Amino acid sequence: MNLIKLFISFLKIGAFSFGGGYAMLPLIKKEIIEVHGWLTVTEFIDILAVVEMTPGPIAINSATFLGYKVAGVLGSIAATTAVVLPSFVIILIIAHFLSKFRDSPYVDWAFMGIRPVILGLVASAAITVAIDALTSIKSIIIGIIIFYLITFKKLHPILGIIIAGTAGALLF
């Protein structure tokens, strides 16, 4: 039964998320934690840390790891297949009709309307993860320092992860 619920949950996530993996995070959190209670917020954040460090699309990595956590290998397969399926079908349909509508102003207008939604979803994901992850003064300081180094000093994100992980291990 969990496999079916997992498949349906990730099918919804894949079908109603625009803008990639970060934009999906609020929907994933709602389905996995709030609707089904499969994970705690702490487990979710731990999985996000692994997902962000793992090569590949965040949406697929999230589905794979979360599916595995909920229902093992079959859960990984169900969640990953479900999150990819809507995009796959939509791309096939768009590819079929693309040549007809490529230069349509209506298509341009639709994407102009979708862009702010994507920004809102990504911002929501960032705020949600920040609220749940920044639980102490130490973690807030680590977050601010790493944000500063990556954003303004152009530190490579992998080095930021290593520095943050080392600081966390030393401070906690």
**Greatest mean pLDDT among 13-17, 25-29, 86-90, 131-135:** 86-90
Q: Is residue 152 situated within a structural domain?
A: no
Give the Cα separation of 22 and 84 in Å (integer): 15
> Is 128 a member of any domain?
no
When divided into structural domains, the chain yields a total of 1
The answer to the question of residue 6 being in a domain is: yes
Q: In which domain, by residue range, is 38 found?
A: 2-102
Can you list the alpha helix ranges (DSSP code H) found in 19-136?
Answer: 21-29, 41-53, 58-101, 105-133
**pLDDT > 70: what percent of the chain?**
97
32 assigned to some structural domain: yes
23 lies in some domain: yes
In a domain, 156, yes or no: no
Q: What is the pLDDT of residues 122-170, one digit of tens each?
A: 888 788 888 878 888 999 999 999 999 999 999 998 899 899 999 999 9
- 68, part of any domain: yes
